[in-house]
Structure 1
Amino acid sequence: MRSAHTVHDVRAAEAALMARLPEGALMQRAAAGLAAVCAGVLGGAYGTRVVLLVGSGANGGDALYAGARLARRGASVTAVLLSPGKAYPDGLAALRSAGGRTTADPAAGEELVRRADLVVDGIVGIGGRGGLRGAAVPLARAAAGSGAAVVAVDLPSGVDADTGEVAGEAVRADVTVTFGTHKPGLLVDPAAGFAGTVHLVDIGLGPDLPGPAVQALQHADVAALLPVPGARSDKYRRGVLGVAAGSARYPGAAVLAVAGALHGGAGAVRYAGSAAREVIARFPETLVSTGRPSQAGRVQAWAVGPGAGEDASARVALEDALASDVPVLVDADGLRHLKGLGRPARGALAGRTAEVLLTPHAGEAAALLDVAREDVEARRLEHVRRLADAYGATVLLKGSTTLVAAPGGGPVRANPTGTGWLATAGSGDVLSGLAGSLLASGLSAFDAGSAAAYLHGLAGRRAAGRDGAPFGAHELAGELPAAWRDVRGAAH
């Protein structure tokens, strides 16, 4: 599992560690790791042209010390000083002693960047707020257009370490070398999209770090969550999911939600709704009915809302499912009806003993919070937490980075799998069925949402293929068992 910590917690851990180490030792650890990654990116330092973009903070110091190490390996290294009077003095001395050069001329710096093999971004540290300013802007643009590999120190300059927000111009890195722990912005879009490949360098912060702010699961973590039937299992012990989805206008949403459930581990699926004929034609193993959810039979969880429409029957189905004593997943049209129950829907959710999992995209989350969609997309981490607390429910916020947050605080999980090809009609319906099946198996809403997002992303990658190609949501559902096998196989 990858863990990310806030700037405050990183600063506190660094201070505690530096109190136990000789002066400058922590920066040397970081610089050694940074230099090693840079040399690897270059395929060897000798004879290469390296440009350091150096600001006034510790990141600039890391870049200078790393530049000195590369210079000693035969690289031609020049530091472009954006704040010449504030650059880290010992780092400057080390670079010059190793044969490196410096310049404070921005125009000369831009020309050096255009001819470089490698550009090291040490402009702004993790405490920076807002986009790049002044001479940093043309230098970042020159790096983006140069053809040089760009390596960011700790995180790309101009992105927000804690929120993942990109409020203006920012460095777009090919590689980010981060120290001690990941920062939330490296795992959460839009900032994560600027980071490239992230390398974590262990500098010894671990014992001084508290619990993480953000987590990203990996194969072994998901494999540990997935339910595995035993010798005494039957379809009921494995979990029965009820699906209340689809309508005369959108019967396919019901079919796809059922597909996600059947391919996602449910022992059985009970369908309740007006698309019963379409569902049974595609999946004859489904137990279908046309009445309310409460009339469908015993289930261990409900998935409600995909393609349900805006009429009164869809609202009745939501209220009926929420009146049950089992976990309920609410998606798509169900979220619109939930909003209609009164923000923050305390009458519908506050008295429930079983969990609720909401699965909005950015637009639906914005409507539930009465904010602009652009605000949600810019600050996804902030808004997924707000939504979970406002509704007292676990929230899976879909998007380029899918986030899962439980109410009351704790770490947010950022899903690391997926592909842009998942942006296709019906993909979310499959996810609803998959997450619902994991809820029915007994997973918490937090774990069910996290594991479902991970498997869904892997299935999307498999459906798109190595070179990337479009696929339909029905093909996505068909890849779920293979994604499941990938996760369990890697864990073993």
Structure 2
Amino acid sequence: MRHAYSVETVRAAERALMERLPEGALMQRAAAGLAVACCDLLRRNGRVYGSRVLLLVGSGDNGGDTLYAGARLARRGAGVRALLTSPDKVHRQAMAALLAAGGQVLGGPPLGALGPVDLVVDGITGIGGRGGLRPEAAELVRAVTAGHVPVLAVDLPSGVEADTGEVLGEAVHADATVTFGTYKPGLLVDPAAGHAGALRLVDIGLAEELPDRPDLEALQYADVAALLPVPDAGSDKYRRGVVGVAAGSERYPGAAVLAVAGALRGGAGAVRYAGPGADAVIARFPETLVHPGPPSRAGRVQAWVAGPGLGDSSASAEAVADVLAADVPVLVDADGLRLMDAAAVRARTAATVLTPHAGEAAALLGVGREEVEAGRLAAVRELAARYRATVLLKGSTTLVAEPGDAPVRVNPTGTSWLATAGSGDVLSGLTGSLLAAGLAPRDAASVGAYLHGLAARRAADGAPVAAQDVADAVPAAWRDVLA
């Protein structure tokens, strides 16, 4: 599992580690790892010896890491030049090391005389940077990267917010980022994550100093495999769990079909459908147990999914209220998010999972969509606290949060091809099925998002994909995880 920690926590861990190490040892560890990453990038396009490296160097330890790494590259035969964005605050010992190794230090940006560059190393600001790049630094970055030169960021791209993933001004767009000791939230959460490129974590010995509970975590294959429900010899369809689906309408019968498609592939033993789309559902999936509704009369279930394609009729609102009154876990999506009564959600004793996209989240919070998209981490935490529910915030970075202090989970799978009609309906059914199979709400939402994203990657394979294709690819994604 990938873990990410706040700047304050990382700083405290670094101070504790430095007390046990010789002076400067921690910076040398970081510089060594950074230099290796630079060499790897340079070898992809040629070789290290004779390559041309430009360091963009800010103040403090981030600039020191960059200069010491540059010294190592210079000793390997690279031509290394450093542009100092804050000459009066540069790390003096690191600058001396670069000069001793044969590198050059430029006090200002004589951009017309730089000539060809094979790699730009962004060491302008570190994890303590706030509010985007200063205008002069932004102009410098634009100038030196105009020719599509590869950019490697040091710890995180300069100009992004380490703790929140926000980008509050101009920021570096890196092809790769080398981060030290642990991941930072901004490297995993959009929009900042979109600036980071490929991530590489350098071990500098920080793990022993970090607390057990991170601020963010991202599941990996082994974590998901350990959570997947697997029937045993004594299982039958009811012991495996039954998921109910209240979705679809005369106008949107396809939403019912897609939600059921996801639910059938999510690990529960049976799917009950309650609503006006019964004919469409049974025609596509004859194994489904159908009922015209209301949901409470459809039969016993271990979890409900409510909302996809319900529309805005009074009967739809009654169906959502009926589901929320059930004493089983409930997932609410799409139209159900508009129709649900907030007080009823907060009053529930059984688990509730809400799965909004950014627009729906904005409506639930009473803010603009752009505010949610710019601050996804804050939005998902606020939703979970306000509605006392587990929240899966869909989008370019899908986040899962629950009330309390549990780490927010970041989903690492997916593809931009998932931005297609009905894909959220499949996710709802899949996640609801995992709830019915017995997974805790945070785990069900995290595993559902992971499998959904993995299935989309397989189904798309670089080309457009439809929601039903994603549902059909879930079994293969499931097998991939277990293998």
Shorter-chain-normalised TM-score: which range?
A: over 0.9
Determine the structure 2 residue equivalent to 1:305.
307
- The answer to whether the Cα contact below 8 Å between 2:165 and 2:193 also exists between their aligned partners in 1 is yes
Q: 1:91 aligns with which of 87, 94, 115?
A: 94
Give the deviation of 1:236 after TM superposition.
Answer: 0.7
Give the deviation of 1:134 after TM superposition.
Answer: 3.0
- The answer to whether the Cα contact below 8 Å between 1:189 and 1:401 also exists between their aligned partners in 2 is yes
- The answer to whether the Cα contact below 8 Å between 2:111 and 2:144 also exists between their aligned partners in 1 is no
Report the CA distance shift for 1:110/1:305 in structure 2 as closer, same or farther (over 3 A).
Answer: farther
- The answer to whether the Cα contact below 8 Å between 2:358 and 2:373 also exists between their aligned partners in 1 is yes
Q: 1:259 aligns with which of 258, 261, 270?
A: 261
SS of the aligned residue for 1:433 comes to: helix
- Matched to 2:391, the amino acid is V
Counterparts of residues 279-290 of structure 1 (less than 5 Å)? 279-290=281-292
- The answer to whether the Cα contact below 8 Å between 1:80 and 1:109 also exists between their aligned partners in 2 is no
Determine the structure 2 residue equivalent to 1:215.
217
- Matched to 1:321, the amino acid is V
Is 1:46 aligned with 2:49? yes
Determine the structure 1 residue equivalent to 2:428.
432
Deviation by residue 1:268-310 (Cα, 9 ceiling, x = unmatched): 0000000000000000000000111100000000000000011
Give the deviation of 1:349 after TM superposition.
Answer: 2.4
- Matched to 1:477, the amino acid is A
- The answer to whether the Cα contact below 8 Å between 1:125 and 1:157 also exists between their aligned partners in 2 is yes
Counterparts of residues 14-413 of structure 1 (less than 5 Å)? 14-43=14-43, 44-106=47-109, 108-109=110-111, 111-112=113-114, 115-210=116-211, 211-338=213-340, 341=341, 345-346=342-343, 348-413=344-409
Give the deviation of 1:354 after TM superposition.
Answer: 1.0
Give the deviation of 1:266 after TM superposition.
Answer: 2.1
- The answer to whether the Cα contact below 8 Å between 1:52 and 1:80 also exists between their aligned partners in 2 is yes
CA distance in 2, matches of 1:355, 1:40: 47
CA distance in 2, matches of 1:268, 1:143: 59
CA distance in 1, matches of 2:279, 2:324: 25
Aligned length: 479
Give the deviation of 1:427 after TM superposition.
Answer: 0.2
Unaligned runs of 5+ in 1: none
CA distance in 2, matches of 1:115, 1:448: 51
Deviation by residue 1:42-82 (Cα, 9 ceiling, x = unmatched): 01421000000000121110000000000000000000001
Give the deviation of 1:109 after TM superposition.
Answer: 4.2
CA distance in 1, matches of 2:368, 2:136: 33
Superposition TM-score, scaled by structure 1 size: 0.96
- The answer to whether the Cα contact below 8 Å between 2:346 and 2:389 also exists between their aligned partners in 1 is no
SS of the aligned residue for 2:199 comes to: strand
Give the deviation of 1:320 after TM superposition.
Answer: 0.7
- The answer to whether the Cα contact below 8 Å between 1:110 and 1:142 also exists between their aligned partners in 2 is no
Unaligned runs of 5+ in 2: none
Q: 1:423 aligns with which of 419, 436, 443?
A: 419
- Matched to 2:236, the amino acid is D
Give the deviation of 1:149 after TM superposition.
Answer: 1.4
Deviation by residue 1:216-274 (Cα, 9 ceiling, x = unmatched): 11100000110001011111111100000000000000000000011222210000000
SS of the aligned residue for 2:444 comes to: helix
- Matched to 2:294, the amino acid is R
SS of the aligned residue for 2:231 comes to: coil
- Matched to 1:188, the amino acid is V
- The answer to whether the Cα contact below 8 Å between 2:54 and 2:117 also exists between their aligned partners in 1 is yes
Give the deviation of 1:463 after TM superposition.
Answer: 0.8
- Matched to 2:71, the amino acid is A
SS of the aligned residue for 1:476 comes to: helix
Report the CA distance shift for 1:226/1:131 in structure 2 as closer, same or farther (over 3 A).
Answer: same
CA distance in 1, matches of 2:112, 2:165: 27
Report the CA distance shift for 1:389/1:36 in structure 2 as closer, same or farther (over 3 A).
Answer: same
CA distance in 2, matches of 1:120, 1:109: 16
CA distance in 2, matches of 1:145, 1:354: 55
CA distance in 1, matches of 2:445, 2:253: 24
Deviation by residue 1:383-417 (Cα, 9 ceiling, x = unmatched): 00000000000000000000000111220001000
Give the deviation of 1:214 after TM superposition.
Answer: 0.6
Which deviates the most, 304-313 or 131-140?
131-140
Give the deviation of 1:143 after TM superposition.
Answer: 3.8
SS of the aligned residue for 1:38 comes to: helix
Report the CA distance shift for 1:142/1:287 in structure 2 as closer, same or farther (over 3 A).
Answer: same
- Matched to 2:87, the amino acid is P
- Matched to 2:151, the amino acid is V
CA distance in 2, matches of 1:200, 1:60: 18
CA distance in 2, matches of 1:471, 1:121: 37
Give the deviation of 1:110 after TM superposition.
Answer: 6.4
Determine the structure 2 residue equivalent to 1:488.
482
Give the deviation of 1:115 after TM superposition.
Answer: 1.6
- Matched to 1:479, the amino acid is A
- The answer to whether the Cα contact below 8 Å between 2:138 and 2:170 also exists between their aligned partners in 1 is yes
CA distance in 2, matches of 1:109, 1:484: 52
- The answer to whether the Cα contact below 8 Å between 1:144 and 1:172 also exists between their aligned partners in 2 is no
CA distance in 1, matches of 2:244, 2:71: 63
CA distance in 2, matches of 1:128, 1:105: 21
CA distance in 1, matches of 2:30, 2:311: 55
SS of the aligned residue for 1:236 comes to: coil
Report the CA distance shift for 1:475/1:111 in structure 2 as closer, same or farther (over 3 A).
Answer: farther
